[in-house]
Structure 1
Amino acid sequence: MRAPSATTLILLGLVAGLTAGAVLHAVEAPGEASLVAAAAAVGGVWLDALRMTIIPLVFALLVTGMARAADAVGRGGLAGRALLAFGGLLLLAATLTAGLTPALLAAWPAPGEAAAALRAAATGDAGNIPQTPPLSEWLGAFIPANPFKAAADGAMASLVVFALIFGLAVSRLDAARRDLLVTVFDGVQAAMMVIVRWVLVLAPGGVFLLALTVGARTGFGAVGLLGHYVVIVSLMCLMAGALGVIAALAGGRTPARDLAGAMVPVGAMAISTQSSLACLPVMLAACTRLGIPERVSGLVLPMGVALFRITSPAGNLAVALYVAHLYGVPLAPAQVAAGVLVAALVSLAAVGVASSVTFFTTLVPIFMSLGLPMELLPLLLAVETFPDFSRTLGNVAGHVGVTAWAARWRRADAA
């Protein structure tokens, strides 16, 4: 008999924790307050163990990713243009999410009773949202005068900018120094990944304790709240995937009927595997069916699978905006703009990282840039398997869409 997967164990931890907390809340068990406080404290220690790896991990991933990407762009050609298209679409997806998610939540807010219970039980983090600085100060904060202080303060937006500038500078060094620095930072991210995997071994227990505290505060209302969350995030992921379809239709001038026929087996594979990498052979076959030259699909599709997750900034920013909605945290336009930038950039830092790790690697920087509480993240990780269907569908649409667009660049160059 096969042992349950890590995702299954985390989901079981969520269900058991919510149930135990809701029962405690319903029967008003003696000592409930002390038990919930202890569970919150131990669960918080587990969450802090994850958070301690985020800054060095994201910084190292961005430096190595930027150094390699800048080298590809510098060489120009199809690879460079594809990377620029990836970046533009990631930024566009995050920007649209910043406008659509609040509008959707205004029209269809989270279940009121559960959201109110969470707000009433919110601890210090939720009440200490920094005030929006003046525009001049906000712009200046993107360039950290002291990068080490920015890291210590959790000023993630400025730290991301510094990592990108540093990675770009590394790409301009001579080969020996460039390779040495890339190797060093690659080793840093690998070591951080080992620590993250150690911590995630305890994820079912950590999720159980944190879910117990939420269940005790909200009762079984948390179940409806999580279902509402899954729908909102899934819609934003599908919206991002629609950008890939538009890229194929408008940018690549692909007939809609041909695109729909080619994408049916790709979508079926995406739903069954929840893995863009596993869909690569089917996507290559779809591109052949669309008449895309092999020299284009053979280069752009593997690059897309490795670097381009169009649903990452959309889905992750939607998660952050949803949590801000739950806690009643007002976000000024400048804060949202910082979140858009960080969401688009850190999506590139998730290259080759497992989905359970990616969830924290890409979300914690966004939460830090917006000043949001992170206590709900482990619970949202437990239900990530549901919006992950939409994430994969959107990603494969983005991969094929940009590849069809790139084929038109080739045709234009030939003409």
Structure 2
Amino acid sequence: MSQATRILLSLIIGLAAGIALAAFAPGSVGPVITVAQPIGSAWLNALQMTIVPLVVSLLITGVAATAEAAQAGRLAGRAIALYVALLALSATAAALVTPLLLALFPIPADSAASLRAAIPGLHAMSAAPPLGEFLAAIIPTNIVKAAAENAFISLIIFALIFAFAMTRIDAKGRALLTAFFTAVRDAMLVVIEWILWIAPVGVSALALVVGARAGTGAFGALVHYILIVAGVGVIVSLAAYPIAVFGGRVRIGDYARAALPSQAVAISTQSSIASLPSMVEGASALGVPVATSGITLPLAVAIFRATGPAMNLAVAIYVAFWFGVPLSPAVLAVGVVVATLTSLGSVSLPGTISYVSAIAPIAAAIGAPVAPLGLLVAVETIPDIIRTLGNVMMDLATTVTLSRRNGGRDSEG
């Protein structure tokens, strides 16, 4: 049984147990919650403990690797420029579409209120500072203090500056720093694997508390969350068709047929890497030379996740709406920037790990609480299918586009 399946089952079992406890033994709800809530909170704290070192090490190694890849040749450089632009557009789409979807299909009020009261580890959110104060504060005077306070925007800026500075030093020093932060990243991933291994205990404890306090409304709220976030992912995924048609100059029917095998693999495996052979065949069917697809497709699989910024920001916006956090255009713009940057570091991680490491900084940046992510990660299995499906579609569409920009395809038509 996969890790994601175990976590999802633990969520369902915990919710069902909490609902049954409240219905058939209401007198025991208090004592059971007294035991379950600290267990869930401890697991959630353990998960949050890893975020700062993981995000910093991922950003430094990810940006350094991207900068190095961009120097590999003109085609690689153009590919990375296109990928970064599309990642920014992906996040921007979420900033525009998610509030609209939540306005058209609002979160069920009763369920939202019950869940707010049920989730442990929440803290009152401070009001957003004035714009001038915010801009002055994003440059940290003390990076250690910024890390201690989970000031993710400051940490991201520092990590970006540091990563680009690494590209300017001698090769020996750059290799030493890259090896150090790669080791930090790998060690933190092992720690997270341990934490996720015991996730069924923590998630079931959290879910039991939520089920006992929120009742059956918890299921409805989680289904609503899945539909909204998946809907944003579908919208971004569908953008692959006009990119292929207008950027790659292929017929929409030809692109759809070429993408179908890789889409099938993506749905069944939830892995872009597993879909790579099918994407190479699809690119060849569209007339893309192997010399082009052999560079752009592996590069896309390694550093480009088109749906990541959109769906990650959608989660953070959903949590903000859920907990009544006001989101001004300026705050959403900050979310777009953070979502774009964090996607560069988390692209090669499994879904449950990248979920936390990528979304927690975005949520913190827009003022949304991080604690609900410990519950929402349990239902990531379903949106993750949309993530992978959209990613392989965009990988193929951008490859066709880059092929045309690089001198055309093997055959036109």
TM class by shorter chain equals over 0.9
Provide the identity percentage: 46
Number of the residue aligned with 1:285: 281
Match among 362, 366, 369 for residue 358 of structure 2: 362
The 3-state SS of whatever aligns with 2:273 is: coil
Question: 293-302 or 35-44, which moves further after superposition?
Answer: 35-44
Number of the residue aligned with 1:157: 153
Query: Which amino acid is the alignment partner of residue 116 of structure 1?
Result: A
Number of the residue aligned with 2:53: 56
Computed over aligned residues only, the root mean square deviation of the Cα atoms, in angstroms, reads 1.8
Number of the residue aligned with 1:91: 88
Equivalenced residue count is 410
Number of the residue aligned with 2:319: 323
Question: 183-192 or 66-75, which moves further after superposition?
Answer: 66-75
Number of the residue aligned with 1:40: 37
Q: How does 1:2-401 map to 2 (within 5 A)?
A: 4-27=1-24, 29-121=26-118, 125-126=122-123, 128-401=124-397
Deviation at 1:337, TM superposition (A): 1.7
Q: 1:259 to 1:304 in 2, by over 3 A?
A: same
TM-score norm. by structure 1 comes to 0.94
Deviation at 1:293, TM superposition (A): 1.1
Q: Deviations over 1:222-269 (max 9, x none)?
A: 111111111111111112222333221221122112111111222112
For the Cα contact (< 8 Å) 1:68–1:171, is it kept in 2?
no
Q: 1:26 to 1:374 in 2, by over 3 A?
A: farther
For the Cα contact (< 8 Å) 1:132–1:332, is it kept in 2?
no
Deviation at 1:7, TM superposition (A): 2.0
Q: 1:333 to 1:38 in 2, by over 3 A?
A: farther
Deviation at 1:322, TM superposition (A): 1.1
For the Cα contact (< 8 Å) 1:118–1:327, is it kept in 2?
no
For the Cα contact (< 8 Å) 2:335–2:365, is it kept in 1?
yes
Distance 1:341 1:356 in 2: 22
Deviation at 1:143, TM superposition (A): 2.1
TM-score norm. by structure 2 comes to 0.95
Q: Deviations over 1:122-141 (max 9, x none)?
A: 66735x22222222222223
Q: Deviations over 1:150-173 (max 9, x none)?
A: 111111012111101100000111
The 3-state SS of whatever aligns with 1:375 is: coil
Deviation at 1:145, TM superposition (A): 2.2
Distance 1:373 1:344 in 2: 20
Deviation at 1:208, TM superposition (A): 0.1
Query: Which amino acid is the alignment partner of residue 14 of structure 1?
Result: L
For the Cα contact (< 8 Å) 2:61–2:345, is it kept in 1?
no
For the Cα contact (< 8 Å) 1:317–1:343, is it kept in 2?
yes
Q: 1:252 to 1:236 in 2, by over 3 A?
A: same
Distance 1:67 1:237 in 2: 28
| Alignment gaps of 5+ in structure 2 | none
Distance 1:137 1:108 in 2: 34
Distance 2:239 2:2 in 1: 33
The 3-state SS of whatever aligns with 2:274 is: coil
Once superposed, which parts of structure 1, at least 4 consecutive aligned residues long, lie more than 6 Å away? none
| Alignment gaps of 5+ in structure 1 | none
